[in-house]
Structure 1
Amino acid sequence: MVFFAAYLETTGLFDTRVEESPLHYTSPNAPQKQDVLGALFLSILAGHRRYAHVTGLRSDGVSPNILGMDKIVSEDALRRALGKIPEAEGTEWMRKHLFKSVVAACQTPWILDIDTTVKPLFGHQEGAEVGYNPHKPGRPSHAYHAYWIGNLRLLLDVEVTAGNTTASNHAQPGLNRVLDALRAEQRPYLVRGDCGFGNDAVIREMESRQQPYLFKLRQSSRVKRLLQRVFTRRDWIDAGQGWEGREDTIQLAGWAQSRRVVILLRLLKENLIATREQRGQLAFAFVDRRQTKVYEYAVLVTDLSEGVLSVAQLYRDRADAENGFDELKNQWGWGVATPPGIWRVADFLRAPWG
């Protein structure tokens, strides 16, 4: 923490953000902005999970001095400070400086990963709604729509919405905003997402912007019919890591045109067990590999011109982005107690200061 504080002081990043912050006090007895924002930053950097934990920083006599702070403010001062920041100004302030800290990585070809994660809530917070929550069904939550520089663990932006807005149409405005903020030479080589984004609305938006994309399709009935039609073909080629693949075209219901898809298939080679409910009883059987072959499959939609092997590897590389999402959610600010206002939650999540 001391070394990172010294880095911020040397580069001037901390002073610039404090000067441009929309936090303003009028009382002569109010704390200094340097002390308030510095305490918030040091608390986040120290991995604190509650406002009350900021008290533990009072014994640190080194880091506050490096950042030009006079003292570590109380937890109540931090809460009141976040409550005083206007929504529009605070959002613009954090987005500007977060983007400034990562834009240099957009000068070379890069991939924009989009993903939605669910944050269960246990207090009384704005936007706490019951929605899709596979780990804690019925628990109110927030939905975090994140836009990520793939393989670099650099976050471009995050949009916080109510827990019942996990669908891709709620993530698309934030995605459009990120793309609009980039110049033509800074645009990503590829926009990549899971099956939640493999729908006509998102794809049409990417095509209208001439932005290459790679999404996974849901296992709909037409996708299954396509797989059934091509399964017995003999022109499958190696797609890496035990997968076989081939390309085709498909036009799903609601699509105005057909699009290129890459179909991936892999034989499961481990010992398998099959279960099925029969009249309230659980039927259990071992799968005889000599008589039965079990496959897993995926269908990717893309406008890339690369071959099957390259497209398959590009989507497999998305697993590294999932690791980054997990780290932010469970090891950094996304898994901690956050301010009560939903827009302040978004600003709080942008607060790791680059």
Structure 2
Amino acid sequence: QNDPLVNEFDISVKEPETVSRFLGNFNFKTTQMFRDINFKVFKKLLTKSKLTSITIDIDSSVINVEGHQEGASKGYNPKKLGNRCYNIQFAFCDELKAYVTGFVRSGNTYTANGAAEMIKEIVANIKSDDLEILFRMDSGYFDEKIIETIESLGCKYLIKAKSYSTLTSQATNSSIVFVKGEEGRETTELYTKLVKWEKDRRFVVSRVLKPEKERAQLSLLEGSEYDYFFFVTNTTLLSEKVVIYYEKRGNAENYIKEAKYDMAVGHLLLKSFWANEAVFQMMMLSYNLFLLFKFDSLDSSEYRQQIKTFRLKYVFLAAKIIKTARYVIMKLSENYPYKGVYEKCLV
């Protein structure tokens, strides 16, 4: 409220208590409305992009809390062991760097809980005849229910599998041949199923030579000098391409970090669970609106810039406020290197 620029342009800033009281009125129904709005904003961005195929990464992340917020509980929390937390489920479109949907969960929620329902919701909201969707997930989502859901919706999937003995025993069999691809990765394929699965599926296996110190330890097991990684997929990508495509999933982790630290998603401090869910949805709405702004107003080279980079280039500026009889003018430095881009954004 004491910011001179805020005062100059007469921007109304509500007291924290007023905002907190407003957010405290949210419930499941009203927060779901925010989720619907987020779907619409994403669809607008998707339409503008004219993409015919997209990759949706589903992942979860822990948000620590320090008070007694509703729904927070002790769960998997590698940074603050034993601390109460929330567990947020995210879905991002890799090609657009955009938030598709997500929701806040209790801290003790298992990674894959609610994923199948989320996938159904995503497909119902954005799928069209001319759009192909591939869902990419880590081993926390390696579950036949999730796979069957994606298959029933006519979509593709690429999921890192857990190294169950059913898979490792086949991959280390002496009859299995690994082939080195153009990028140097050694891969092979299995068409198999786990014990309780209904049908065989395609598994791509990648093996990586262990460090020399580990290999120096004698072992009687066949293939013990390698680490093995398994991926289940219904794509037609070549084996090595499957591994390379999965490795790009790291982008989603960067998007989550950007949301947590640059959009303050990592700070859900209100007592009400639904108030915190509403704050989360509004933050992610701002995130996508910012992407829309960049898509419409900036060069394509600027689109994937992180929010903190954008702030340094276009927000944290030295400028003068000059008043005339009719106007209030913000005057930038003559040496400001991004002046042309800045002026273009204001048109």
Give TM class, smaller chain: 0.7 to 0.9
Q: CA deviation at 1:311?
A: 1.2
Rounded Cα–Cα distance in structure 2 between residues aligned with 1:322 and 1:137: 21
Change (3 A) 1:83 1:188: farther
Candidates 2, 21, 25, aligned match of 1:80: 21
1:201 matched to which residue of 2?
Answer: 145
Asked whether the equivalents of residues 112 and 188 of structure 1 are also in contact (C-alpha less than 8 Å), the reply is: no
Cα gap change, 1:166/1:234 in structure 2, threshold over 3 Å: closer, same or farther? closer
| Per-residue deviation, 1:239 | 6.3
Q: 1:211 is matched by which residue type in structure 2?
A: C
Task: Structure 1 unaligned segments of length 5 or more: list them.
Answer: 1-56, 275-285
Shift in CA distance, 101/124, structure 1 to aligned 2, threshold 3 Å: same
**Contact 2:168/2:228 (CA < 8 Å) preserved in 1?**
no
- Partner of 1:122, secondary structure, is coil
2:92 aligned with 1:148: yes
| Aligned equivalent of 2:67, options 119, 123, 136 | 123
Q: Report matched runs for 1:281-300 at 5 Å.
A: 294-300=225-231
CA RMSD of aligned residues (A): 2.6
Q: CA 1:252/1:86 → structure 2, altered by over 3 Å: closer, same or farther?
A: closer
- Report the AA paired with residue 135 of structure 1: K
Deviation at 1:123, TM superposition (A): 0.8
Output aligned runs, 1:1-354, within 5 Å: 57-62=1-6, 65=9, 70-92=11-33, 94-103=34-43, 104-105=45-46, 107-108=50-51, 109-185=53-129, 187-229=131-173, 233-238=176-181, 240=183, 242-268=184-210, 272=213, 294-352=225-283, 353=286, 354=288
What CA distance in whole angstroms lies between the structure 1 residues aligned with 2:189 and 2:182? 11
Equivalent position of 1:27 in the other structure: none
Matched-pair contact (CA < 8 Å) for 1:239–1:308 = no
Q: 1:174 to 1:186 in 2, by over 3 A?
A: farther
Once the 2 structures are TM-superposed, how far is the Cα of residue 164 of structure 1 from its aligned partner? 1.2
Cα drift, residue 137 of structure 1:
2.4
User: Residue 46 of structure 2 aligns to which amino acid in structure 1?
Assistant: A
Distance 1:75 1:186 in 2: 46
Cα shift at 1:186 = 6.6
Q: CA deviation at 1:84?
A: 2.6
Question: In the aligned structure 1, how far is the partner of 2:85 from the partner of 2:213?
Answer: 36
Partner of 2:325: none
TM-score w.r.t. the length of structure 1 is 0.71
Q: In 2, distance between residues paired with 1:100 and 1:80?
A: 27
Output the amino acid matched with 1:78.
Answer: V
Return the TM-score normalized by structure 2.
0.72
Q: Closer, same or farther in 2 for the Cα pair 1:307/1:273, shift >3 Å?
A: closer
Distance of 2:36 and 2:8 partners within structure 1: 25
Secondary structure of 2:62's aligned partner: strand
Partner of 1:61, secondary structure, is helix
Contact 1:338 1:348 in 2 (8 A): no
Per mean C-alpha deviation after superposition, the further-off stretch among 319-328 and 297-306 is 319-328
8 Å CA contact 2:192–2:200 kept in 1: the answer is: yes
1:106-156 deviation line (CA, Å, top 9, x unaligned): 641110100011112211011111222222222221110111101432111
In the alignment, the residues of structure 1 paired with residue 193 and residue 201 of structure 2 have an alpha-carbon distance, to the nearest angstrom, of: 6
Closer, same or farther in 2 for the Cα pair 1:130/1:295, shift >3 Å? same
- Amino acid in structure 1 at the alignment position of 2:25: K
- Name segments (4+ residues, structure 1) moved above 6 Å: none
User: Are the structure 2 counterparts of residues 167 and 235 from structure 1 closer, same or farther at C-alpha, using a change threshold of 3 Å?
Assistant: closer
Q: Would the aligned equivalents of 1:131 and 1:163 in 2 still touch at CA under 8 Å?
A: yes
The percentage of aligned residue pairs carrying the same residue is: 23
> Shift of the alpha carbon at 1:346?
2.1
Q: Is the 8 A contact 1:126 1:340 kept in 2?
A: yes
Contact 2:25–2:275 (CA<8 Å) still a contact in 1? Answer: no
Name the structure 2 match of 1:52. Answer: none
Q: 1:256 to 1:172 in 2, by over 3 A?
A: same
Q: Distance in 1 between matches of 2:8 and 2:264?
A: 21
Task: Give the C-alpha shift of residue 261 in structure 1.
Answer: 0.6
Conserved 8 A contact 1:239-1:264: no
How many Å apart are 1:253 and its aligned residue?
1.9
| Aligned partners of 1:251 and 1:258 also within 8 Å | yes
